[in-house]
Amino acid sequence: AKDAGRNTVRFFTGDLNFLLSKRLEIEGRLRRAIDNEEFFLRYQPQVELATGRIIGMEALIRWNDPQRGEIFPKDFIFVAEELGIIVQLGEWVFRTACGQLKAWEDEGLPSITVSINISPRQFMSRRLVPTLLSIIRETGADPRRVELEITETMIMRNLEQSVQTLEHLRSVGMQVAVDDFGVGYSSLGQLKRLPATSMKIDRSFIANVPEDASSGSITEAIIAMAKRLKLRVIAEGVETRAQLEFLRANHCEAFQGYLFSRPVTSLEATAMLKAQAAA
């Protein structure tokens, strides 16, 4: 028994060392990645249901690792968040997306919004509002065309502080979308207090409509609630015609998902906007 105990300890120590060294390796690579400009943004079109027109683009970060190729956010965002690197990375995302928005504005392309994801740590930071404002000034982007995506869970973690931060952002004209909506358990009373402009129905609900009755009723309820709160409502992760028709029947205003387009490079996104302008 004593031996087994010792083995267990040794096993755990080895495992921890392995995890720790892996973590340190990712940390080192992440820090270098910012300096080496290994990150880039993809853009996923957001489409108005009634017209089929692109009304926005969500910026989604990717890491182009020289050895491993394109890495998705699920494999590095949590490490960046834990290490605090996310604040610097988030600023890079915001600056790059605002620069892209300004470039599209300058090309005279149809006016769309650019949606930018904000991480929990970024959202809690006192520097958030002044930093975003100085980047808006620096890039010359129109703040009314910038939409921040903040998850429902993040907002509800500290409702008082969130309301203050969101009010500040709204006062300079930025839009605010409540991301991954439906996953948290906010009450109507709490939601009423939020100075948000739109709600994004989480993909987990959309994935199961129209077959699953409960996902269907939740989706309907979210759309109805958004309308009561006078918020725009957008569905994410739309992959099939049947899902789209369900959303249309329930008067959802906009959607994004593989059915219309996967997240594309900035060049491809520009081409899509040009094609729309020419049509």
Contact residues toward Ca ion (CB under 5 A) are 117, 149, 179-180, 236
Binder among 17, 72, 134, 217 for ligand C2E (CB under 6 A): 72
Long-range contacts of 182-191 (CB under 8 A, 24+ apart): 182/152, 182/218, 182/222, 183/151, 183/152, 183/153, 184/151, 184/152, 184/153, 184/156, 186/152, 186/155, 186/156, 188/225, 188/228, 190/156, 190/159, 191/225, 191/229
- Under the binding rule (CB under 6 A), the answer on residue 218 touching ligand C2E is no
* Least distance (Å) between residue 236 CB and Ca ion: 5
Closer CB to Ca ion, residue 91 or residue 236?
236
- Under the binding rule (CB under 6 A), the answer on residue 119 touching ligand C2E is yes
CA dist list (Å): 173 to 120, 130, 176: 22, 14, 10
CA–chain centroid gap for 78, Å, is 14
Closer CB to ligand C2E, residue 15 or residue 70?
70
- Under the binding rule (CB under 6 A), the answer on residue 263 touching ligand C2E is yes
Amino acid identity, residue 196? Answer: A
- Under the binding rule (CB under 6 A), the answer on residue 257 touching ligand C2E is yes
CA separation for the pair 176, 215 (Å, rounded): 25
* Least distance (Å) between residue 55 CB and ligand C2E: 16
* Positions in 142-201 near ligand C2E (CB under 6 A): 149, 179-180
Helix (H) or strand (E) holding 62: strand 54-65
* Least distance (Å) between residue 202 CB and Ca ion: 6
Residue pair 178/123 in contact by the 8 Å Cβ criterion? no
* Least distance (Å) between residue 151 CB and Ca ion: 7
Closer CB to Ca ion, residue 153 or residue 240?
153
Closer CB to ligand C2E, residue 65 or residue 239?
239
Query: Could you tell me which stretch among 19-27, 126-134, 153-161, 232-240 binds ligand C2E (CB under 6 A)?
Result: 232-240
* Least distance (Å) between residue 231 CB and ligand C2E: 17
- Find, among 206, 196, 204, the residue nearest to 235 by Cα: 206
Judged by DSSP in three states, 61 sits in strand
Six-digit token string for 203: 């993909």
Contact letters for ligand C2E, residues 17-56 (x by CB under 6 A)? ---------------------------x------------
Residues that bind ligand C2E (CB under 6 A): 44, 60-61, 72-74, 77, 90, 93, 117, 119, 149, 179-180, 203, 236-239, 256-258, 263
